């Protein structure tokens, strides 16, 4: 019985995938599969510039966000507001980056400000959940829209560059920029931050008492509260704020490492892609860098297909959704056991 | 007060898709399934209506309902049948629907001009010339009337029929419902597909009766707002209808502000519905949710 159900659902996922690929082929103006594949390859991994200026650079925010989501999801907190937290982090980092020169520590302070901004933004949802039982799925989405409008307002109003022509801020001060690692490519020092954060998240969940409490709450809030005497609301609050801080850090890294300025579409949906990153990694931070690299490849490849084969790059978002569903179906046992904790019910 | 009548008219019109989606979500949640994929149902319905509704609006609405139901069937397959986490699956389905509709829309830009105008309002003579509320209540697109008729109809169905009782029983306790001979999975599947179909219809309404065209991500969080509306309305039809009207007003403000040329930054006005949702959830959000909401069925 179970076997046939598994098989059937596997077939359903495969069918979805094949429909998507058929659609890709049909959508490409040339109707030529080899053009599509070549476009994907050249856009993502096929050239050194695509890899070191595109794919690796894109993997950095995905890894930061993904590591944060691992912690949040493990605690049973479904933070889908990474997008908004990233934007507020970017705002905070830009603010610091545009200010008085702070010497060699400027970039560090900008990044800390980014993390603080993201944490504060997530804390709104965390407080709404703790005090009023508001489902964080709803509140974080609402905060995404508010953050997007806020950024749109800032870059057309108070923070707009002095000529008032472009909807973006001035460039941040040079000391507030992350160094580039290779002469001709855009890869920047943020990659070390991403790797360190993933390692730290792995260590936190595995080795610390707080990390154990996070896992216990995610596995069963009532058991954690009764047997473990864990303050469940405090743990979920902390997990949501921590994931917000990492999202904000990702925003700070984007500003100080890639764009050097704030503008409206600073995130091409990183907050949502990161859900796929965390889930494909099985909510294990140790696998997040790999998973982030994979999705970065998918996305830069999709951009390549848009450039060279005329296929809209939003198709990547659909593929990510399929990966999430496929991982859930095929995936790790604990993922399926993570029930919605009783306290998240509205 | 002459500014007020157009605001009311726009508020009721804007509330209609929210109400449709929220009624659907209520039914789904009453059966214990949290349909986070509602946003996906709306955008799928909007795109389907856009593609099919060029000439015959009825075909557009039919396609919208079918597209919403299709997304709902996926949620049923993964979350009811396979018992995978409702929130993760719902989020993935929303991403899937946004991705697919966005891709198709960008790739087939040639049909962008398919729908020129919105479907005309059904004006009820005499009543529509009442002062202040006349046009708000009696000069609306047909789906507005449908939405506001559906609220009492669904209430009646939930509370006065055996099937409705069975659905509520499932939402209150899987075990008790099973013991009473109710097939929990089947009831949930029906509720989710019905709710998603209404979500699709809401999307169709957006295109055919409001915008007159499709835009990427035009659902703009309405699915999530509708889920908030259900909680604000405490899972009751009157509450849901009132909350929908309140949010319709909040969303209509942006059109009114534009039309009146008030000196407010447009970007800030756009925030209002989302800020209102957060504030309202904080103030009114504590209701009694169906006990089984979000829970997966135990394997029997």
pLDDT bucket at B234, cuts 50 / 70 / 90: confident
Decide if A122 contacts A129 (C-beta within 8 A): no
DSSP secondary structure letter of residue A187: -
Question: B135, B9 in Cβ contact below 8 A?
Answer: yes
**CA angle at residue A314 from A313 to A320, to 5 degrees?**
110
> What tens digit of pLDDT does each residue of A64-102 get?
999 999 999 999 899 999 999 999 999 999 999 998 778
| Cβ-based burial of B263 (10 A; exposed 0-12, middle 13-18, buried ≥19) | exposed
Token pair listed for A298: 């998918």
Give the residue from B198, B206, B214 showing the smallest Cα distance to B15.
Answer: B206
Choose between A344 and A27: higher pLDDT: A27
At B239-284, the pLDDT tens digits run 999 999 998 988 888 777 777 766 677 788 888 889 988 888 888 7
User: Percent of chain A at pLDDT above 90?
Assistant: 48
Q: Where are the domains of chain A?
A: 33-337
* Contact (Cβ atoms closer than 8 angstroms) between residue B43 and residue B101: yes
- Amino acid A111: pLDDT: 96
Residues in chain B within 8 Å Cβ distance of A134 = 278, 281-282, 285
Q: Give the confidence band of B160 by pLDDT, cuts at 50, 70, 90.
A: very high
Helix A106-132 crosses helix A136-156 at what angle (to 10 degrees)?
Answer: 140
CA–CA dist B115, B117 (Å, integer): 6
pLDDT over 70 percentage in chain B = 89
CATH number attached to the domain at B4-117+153-284: 1.10.3470
Rounded to two decimals, the ipTM of the complex is 0.87
The residue assigned the tokens 């801020």 is A169
Tokens of B209: 């009766």
Instruction: Check whether B54 has a pLDDT greater than 80.
Output: no
- DSSP codes joined into one string, A272-319: HHHHHHHHHTTT-GGGHHHHHHHHHHHHHHHHHHHHHH---TTHHHHH
- Compute the nearest-CA separation of A5 from chain B (Å): 8
Q: Quick check: A327 pLDDT over 50?
A: yes
- 3-state DSSP call for residue B257? helix
Q: Beta strand B122-123 with B139-140: parallel, antiparallel or unpaired?
A: antiparallel
Please give the structure tokens belonging to residue A302.
């999709």
Indicate if the pLDDT at residue B119 is higher than 90: no
- Per CATH, the number for A33-337 is 1.10.3470
Residue of A nearest to B102 (CA): A314
d(CA B278, CA B159): 30
Average pLDDT over residues B137-143: 78
Q: A200 is written with which tokens?
A: 């730290």
- Structural domain boundaries of chain B? 4-117+153-284
Pick the residue of A76, A153, A314 with the most B CBs within 10 A to test the interface with B by mutation: A314
For A310-319, write each residue's pLDDT tens digit.
888 888 888 8
Average pLDDT over residues A3-15: 60
Give the residue, A213 or A1, on which the prediction is more confident: A213
Instruction: Choose the closest CB to A138 out of B98, B99, B224.
Output: B224
Average the pLDDT over each of A175-184, A255-264, B28-37, B194-203 and give the range with the smallest value: A175-184
Per-residue pLDDT band at A28 (split at 50, 70, 90): low
Neighboring chain B residues of A153 at a CB cutoff of 8 Å: 265, 267-268
- Which residue has 């595109």 as its token pair? A54
Tokens matching residue B227? 């889920």
Cα separation, B136 vs B131, in Å, equals: 10
Task: Please identify which residue in the block is written with the tokens 């449709």.
Answer: B20
CB contact under 8 A, B278 and A149: no
Dist. CA B202–CA B212, nearest whole Å: 14
A17 Cβ under 8 Å from any chain B Cβ: no
> What tens digit of pLDDT does each residue of B184-208 get?
999 999 999 999 999 999 999 999 8
Residues 6+ apart with CB under 8 A from A6: A329
**How many C-beta neighbours within 10 Å does residue A112 have?**
18
Question: pTM of the predicted model, to two decimals?
Answer: 0.88
Torsion angle of alpha carbons B273, B275, B277, B282, nearest 10°?
-160
Contact criterion met (CB below 8 Å) for A293 and A187: no
Answer yes or no: is pLDDT of A340 > 70: no
Q: Which string of DSSP letters, residue by residue, matches A156-210?
A: HTTT--TT--SSB-PPPPGGGSPPBSSTTS--BTHHHHHHHHHHHHHHHHHHSHH
Q: What pLDDT, on the 0 to 100 scale, is given for residue A332?
A: 46
* Residue where the block lists tokens 């009442």: B130
A5 touches chain B (CB under 8 A): yes
* A266-to-A66, A236, B272 alpha-carbon distances in Å: 18, 28, 22
Contact between A300 and A43 under an 8 Å Cβ cutoff? The reply is: yes
**B49-78 mean pLDDT:** 89
Segment A192-211 mean pLDDT: 95
**Half-sphere exposure of residue A315, counting CA atoms within 13 Å on the CB side?**
30
Sequence-separated (6 or more) residues with CB below 8 Å from residue B149:
none
A156 interfaces chain B, CB cutoff of 8 Å: yes
Please choose, from the candidates B100, B179, B140, the residue with its C-alpha nearest in 3D space to the C-alpha of residue A17.
B100
Q: Which two tokens stand for residue B244?
A: 């929908």
Q: Can you tell me which residue has the tokens 């049948």? A: B81
Mutation target for B interface from A16, A29, A75, A142: give the one with most B CBs within 10 A.
A142
DSSP letter (8 states) at residue A188: B
Q: Tell me which DSSP letter residue A256 carries.
A: I
Question: What SS3 state is found at A263?
Answer: strand
Mutate which: A138, A306, A333, vs B, most B CBs within 10 A: A138
Mean pLDDT, rounded, for A110-135: 93
Partners of residue A339 in chain B, C-beta under 8 Å: 85, 295-296
CA angle A29, A35, A39 (to 5 degrees): 105
- CB-based contact B206:B147 (threshold 8 Å): no
Residue for token pair 């349909």: B35
Judging contacts by C-beta atoms under 8 Å, the chain B residues touching residue A129 are none
> Which of A132, A329, A340 comes nearest B282 by C-beta?
A132
pLDDT tens for each residue of A219-256: 888 888 888 888 888 999 999 999 999 999 999 999 99
Quick one: three-class SS letters along B127-196?
Answer: HHHCCCCHHHHHEECHHHHHHHHHHHHHHHHHHHCHHHHHHHHHHHCHHHHHHCCCCHHHHHHHHHHHHH
Work out the minimum CA distance from B156 to partner chain A, whole angstroms.
24
In chain A, what residues touch B274 (CB-CB under 8 Å)?
142-143, 145-146, 149
C-beta atoms of B295 and A339 within 8 A = yes
* pLDDT, averaged across chain A: 86
- Would you put residue A130 in left (φ > 0), alpha (ψ -120 to 50) or beta? alpha
Alpha-carbon Rg of chain A, whole angstroms? 21
**Lowest mean pLDDT, pick from A55-69, A191-205, B51-65:** B51-65
């Amino acid at each position: 019985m179970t076997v046939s159900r598994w098989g059937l659902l596997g077939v359903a996922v495969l069918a979805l995938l094949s429909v998507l690929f058929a659609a890709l082929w049909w959508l490409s103006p040339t109707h030529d599969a080899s053009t599509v594949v070549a476009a994907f390859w050249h856009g993502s991994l096929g050239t050194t510039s695509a890899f070191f200026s595109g794919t690796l650079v894109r993997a950095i925010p995905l890894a930061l966000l993904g590591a944060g989501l691992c912690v949040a999801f493990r605690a049973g907190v479904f933070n889908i507001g990474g997008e908004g937290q990233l934007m507020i982090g970017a705002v905070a980092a830009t603010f610091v980056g545009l200010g008085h020169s702070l010497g060699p520590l400027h970039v560090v302070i900008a990044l800390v400000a980014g993390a603080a901004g993201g944490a504060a933004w997530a804390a709104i949802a965390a407080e709404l959940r703790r005090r009023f039982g508001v489902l964080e799925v709803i509140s974080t989405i609402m905060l995404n829209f508010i953050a997007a409008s806020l950024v749109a307002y800032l870059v057309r109003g108070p923070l707009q560059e002095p000529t008032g022509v472009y909807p973006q801020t001035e460039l941040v001060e040079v000391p507030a920029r992350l160094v580039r690692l290779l002469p001709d490519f855009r890869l920047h020092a943020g990659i070390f931050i991403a790797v360190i954060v993933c390692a730290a998240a792995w260590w936190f969940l595995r080795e610390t008492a707080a990390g154990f409490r996070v896992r216990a709450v995610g596995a069963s809030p009532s058991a954690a509260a009764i047997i473990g005497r864990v303050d469940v609301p405090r743990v979920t609050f902390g997990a949501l704020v921590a994931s917000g801080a990492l999202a904000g850090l990702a925003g700070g890294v984007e500003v100080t490492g890639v764009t050097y300025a704030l503008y409206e579409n600073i995130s091409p949906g990183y907050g949502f892609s990161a859900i796929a990153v965390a889930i494909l990694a099985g909510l294990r931070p140790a696998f997040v860098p790999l998973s982030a690299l994979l999705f970065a490849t998918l996305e830069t490849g999709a951009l390549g297909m848009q450039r060279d084969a005329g296929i809209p790059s939003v198709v990547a978002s659909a593929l990510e959704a399929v990966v999430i569903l496929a991982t859930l179906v095929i995936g790790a046992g604990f993922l399926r056991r993570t029930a919605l904790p009783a306290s998240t019910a509205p | 007060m002459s500014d007020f009548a157009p605001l009311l008219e726009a508020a009721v019109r804007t509330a209609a898709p929210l109400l449709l989606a929220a009624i659907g979500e209520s039914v789904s949640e009453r059966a214990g399934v949290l349909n986070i994929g509602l946003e996906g149902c709306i955008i799928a319905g909007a795109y389907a209506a856009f593609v099919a509704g060029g000439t015959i609006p009825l075909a557009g609405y039919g396609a919208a309902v079918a597209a919403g139901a299709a997304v709902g069937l996926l949620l049923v397959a993964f979350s009811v049948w396979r018992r995978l986490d409702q929130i993760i699956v719902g989020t993935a389905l929303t991403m899937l629907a946004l991705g697919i509709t966005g891709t198709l829309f960008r790739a087939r830009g040639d049909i962008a001009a398919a729908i020129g105008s919105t479907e005309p309002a059904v004006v009820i003579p005499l009543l529509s010339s009442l002062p202040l509320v006349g046009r708000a209540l009696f000069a609306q697109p047909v789906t507005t009337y449908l939405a506001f008729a559906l609220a009492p109809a669904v209430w009646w169905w939930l509370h006065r029929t055996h099937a409705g009782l069975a659905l509520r029983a499932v939402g209150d306790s899987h075990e008790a419902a099973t013991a009473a001979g109710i097939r929990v999975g089947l009831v949930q599947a029906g509720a989710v597909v019905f709710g998603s179909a209404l979500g699709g219809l809401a999307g169709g309404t957006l295109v055919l009766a409001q915008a007159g065209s499709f835009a990427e991500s035009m659902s703009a969080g309405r699915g999530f707002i509708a889920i908030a509306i259900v909680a604000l309305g405490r899972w009751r039809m009157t509450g849901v209808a009132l909350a929908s009207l309140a949010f319709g007003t909040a969303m209509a403000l942006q059109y009114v502000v534009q039309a009146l040329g008030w000196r407010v930054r447009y970007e800030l006005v756009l925030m209002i519905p989302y800020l209102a949702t957060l504030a309202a959830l904080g103030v009114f959000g504590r209701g009694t949710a169906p006990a089984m909401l979000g829970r997966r069925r135990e394997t029997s």
